[in-house]
Structure 1
């Protein structure tokens, strides 16, 4: 179960707003009381009914998303953008796109997608109906400037997601944690039940190239991200709020600002719609209080409208009863490990039940759902080492990932390589990250071989070049050591991989964790230990 308590670190920050963004900078180690969040405005979350870029012309409204056209996707390698490419391709659209890194990208994208390395005005095709870009693309991108100069409709990923939902039966899954998994679980149930939904999910189910599909049914299911309040571009009929915590500090300086955005999202569900809210998260309950629609609760404690009551657990995989208002509907056995995934499955089951799916079908679908890439993904075993890759980059997610891996492999030593994500997040949650790493990796007994920890350099998503005085991986490692857990003094990724390869032994578990490019460590360790097989 996700811990819904607010997390605030003792690292004060300097915030300056400019161009619609909030910039957070680590200043030093003093008490949290010295940090006072500035007054928040919608400019800090660009998606609050504002466009992150001026649209090309009135041609935006003329784009008919129900008919095939030509689209150019800037930042096509992102997980959401590649899912959108799949949906448009299956609807008959001709696609082109660009990204900085094309490594193995062609293997994941739809066939006949024209790819360009890097960004240049010449990449925009002579004839194109719309240019779509991800949030990771800078405002001064040459392709976006070219599209606007030519009067081409220019939209964000979530602009398009909102338009795909218009006039359809919109379903949205929101929350700080678990959005991708819950969306994919709900989608799998709806597909198995024959409802043939259209889906946009920000992570790829195992054995699928991405999280997109274009269905012929009326349902459009979207993972609703709170970053820059992008979910306010959606108009769902049924929505899920899994839980709310402080995060995305480059646009939400404090929890109250996150709650304001979620509150506006809740009001976008029409009066005859439905909100499913996490009962054990006080913030989720607060933001749904003003909703005009019916609100039902779900959780792992008694008193919820929808309850998951555990029956058994086997190496981290849970079996539970699905209960609705004291009536047991079915028993569900999850092949995907993690107590947090029992909550995700509960939310997906409740959403699917409201689409008319029978409980036995829900149980069958969830019983076959093996998981997503980079969500406690077991990559395999090589040279006797079990390799697991996970997306966790927030303290709550680290708690869940590390706790689950210890359930799965209670007698094995864990080699954990963690890549912090963004300096703003690392600075604000420095103590909480250190606590999660310490608590998740400390040995259960004095006779157990100690687990090992490496912390790589921070992945600077959307943050530009490092600045003097910022928090670093070394600061986080020091905080972990103060709690009594050893952390390696190495932070450069290649050095970390070599050190791991030199120390790891058959029977160990190698866990890479982070939202950046940390999976590179798995590949490097594989290469360095290949001769041991």
Structure 2
């Protein structure tokens, strides 16, 4: 759906939260949508939802008492007085059109999130990489400090039983997705900018346009608040200059909060020393890799701006178990281990595999499902080079999400280019997930690290494998 962002109205969304009683969500299987549905249900609203296919998230919502349906149908609206939709919903969708014709309040997901977040002190966490983990880390620290934050995470946090931490404190920490331009709705919040690289070029066209949108967002930050940004990213630092509030930097190479002596931690995780304006502190994480060290630095920097003592923040970091689909070990099959990761950008794929190479003493097979035809087209050669630390690679066909196919852009073509980059390495193209599961089952049982990656439904492969005896 092409969005007219300037016509979106957060005040109208805030009024709907107060006055509407029956909310229906189109696309409720998405992690962000299901979080909002759960929050409204917790407030006593009558909530229902639908998505194009069933899955674990819909089943989870049903267990929480939220009725969900598979597919889209006008009958789902029933007595709803507010419809919440996502960018993936086409404007010609019959259910969406019926809601408009009946005069229902129709809200984009971002309008609703903005209405909730800006009714408190909002802390928006954005950037190309690390949003979900950083959001959950900040929430964990504020929780440890007794601030009882409301937290919306773009993943499942096991310590909170899902993608929301329900809190009544003055702070709302939330993941602010930059994919469709609606990020500019989150005005008058404090901000964390973790990174900025070319992505979502189907929406922005060019990286310059993306940076311009992000500068517009930074300029809307609360003047009495703060913006924490990664100084290692030239683009992020440039965007931060537009903020009217105090700016705080962090990074692995530069910044007011910096990490040195990063090393694997005995027993699992990562250890490092944090240099900050108040001194040096030793930090222990249950997370893996330098990218998560950067996420931890961002979280400490943000929490200290809120008013949390650094020593308490560092102690809280050590308790954080991570979130789902981020270097998540699901179990074993045969003598191999199976990990699942949401990596869907070349930089993320490379970081996951680099971490696996450093921390896992096993040969690595990467199972990758590309996400979106446009992203695969825009970064085809970058993806082909991103698998340097894998001993073998298996590519599936592209997960289309909201997009139609683009001629010449296929998982098979990506596999061909990756094989050309490393002709000495076995590189395979196996189009469907059932075929991938069968292929992996027979080839990688003996002592491999099987790493499943992608933002689509490739996790099904990992789940099927660990069910093996």
Q: What is the CA deviation profile of residues 332-376 of structure 1, one whole-angstrom value per residue up to 9, with x for unaligned ones?
A: 200011110000011011111111112232122210111111111
Shift of 1:402: 0.4
CA contact 1:184–1:211 (8 Å) conserved in 2: no
* 1: CA distance, partners of 2:201 / 2:331: 35
CA contact 2:365–2:393 (8 Å) conserved in 1: yes
Q: What is the CA deviation profile of residues 137-160 of structure 1, one whole-angstrom value per residue up to 9, with x for unaligned ones?
A: 222222222221121111011101
* 2: CA distance, partners of 1:47 / 1:301: 39
Aligned residue number for residue 474 of structure 1: 412
Shift of 1:426: 0.9
Shift of 1:209: 4.4
CA contact 1:375–1:389 (8 Å) conserved in 2: yes
Question: Which of 56, 61, 68 does residue 115 from structure 1 map onto?
Answer: 68
**Aligned: 1:515 with 2:464:** no
Shift of 1:308: 2.3
* 1: CA distance, partners of 2:7 / 2:440: 46
CA contact 2:333–2:466 (8 Å) conserved in 1: yes
Shift of 1:187: 0.8
CA contact 1:48–1:228 (8 Å) conserved in 2: no
The range that moved more, 272-281 or 229-238, is 229-238
Secondary structure of 2:53's aligned partner: coil
Shift of 1:408: 1.9
Aligned residue number for residue 260 of structure 2: 309
Between Structure 1 and Structure 2, the one with more helix by share is: 2
Shift of 1:50: 4.0
Secondary structure of 1:155's aligned partner: strand
Secondary structure of 1:463's aligned partner: coil
* 2: CA distance, partners of 1:125 / 1:196: 36
Question: Which of 131, 139, 143 does residue 187 from structure 1 map onto?
Answer: 139
Unaligned runs of 5+ in 2: none
Aligned residue number for residue 211 of structure 2: 259
Q: Cα RMSD over matched residues?
A: 2.1
Question: Which of 372, 380, 384 does residue 434 from structure 1 map onto?
Answer: 384
Q: What is the CA deviation profile of residues 67-116 of structure 1, one whole-angstrom value per residue up to 9, with x for unaligned ones?
A: 78321111111000111122212222221111122233344226221212
Aligned residue number for residue 234 of structure 2: 282
Larger RCO of the pair (alpha carbons < 8 Å, separation 6+): 1
Alignment of 1:99-498 (within 5 A): 99-109=51-61, 111-126=64-79, 128-206=80-158, 208-302=160-254, 304-310=255-261, 312-314=263-265, 317-325=269-277, 327-328=278-279, 330-410=281-361, 412-437=362-387, 439-441=388-390, 451-464=391-404, 466-467=405-406, 469-484=407-422, 485-498=425-438
* 2: CA distance, partners of 1:354 / 1:125: 46
**TM-score when normalising by structure 2:** 0.93
* 2: CA distance, partners of 1:265 / 1:343: 22
Q: What is the CA deviation profile of residues 222-247 of structure 1, one whole-angstrom value per residue up to 9, with x for unaligned ones?
A: 10111111211112431011111110
Q: What is the CA deviation profile of residues 476-506 of structure 1, one whole-angstrom value per residue up to 9, with x for unaligned ones?
A: 1111111223211432322222111111123
Shift of 1:384: 2.0
Shift of 1:211: 1.4
Aligned residue number for residue 16 of structure 1: none
Aligned residue number for residue 10 of structure 1: none
Quickly say closer, same or farther: Cα 1:317–1:95, change in 2 above 3 A. same
* 2: CA distance, partners of 1:393 / 1:160: 26
Unaligned runs of 5+ in 1: 1-18, 21-45, 442-450
Secondary structure of 1:331's aligned partner: strand
Quickly say closer, same or farther: Cα 1:456–1:207, change in 2 above 3 A. farther
**Aligned: 1:98 with 2:50:** yes
Secondary structure of 1:354's aligned partner: helix
Q: How many residues align?
A: 464
CA contact 2:13–2:115 (8 Å) conserved in 1: no
Secondary structure of 1:112's aligned partner: coil
Quickly say closer, same or farther: Cα 1:489–1:117, change in 2 above 3 A. closer
Shift of 1:472: 0.8
Q: What is the CA deviation profile of residues 263-291 of structure 1, one whole-angstrom value per residue up to 9, with x for unaligned ones?
A: 01100103222111110111111112222
Quickly say closer, same or farther: Cα 1:111–1:206, change in 2 above 3 A. closer
Shift of 1:522: 1.7
**TM-score when normalising by structure 1:** 0.83
CA contact 1:87–1:198 (8 Å) conserved in 2: no
Quickly say closer, same or farther: Cα 1:105–1:165, change in 2 above 3 A. closer
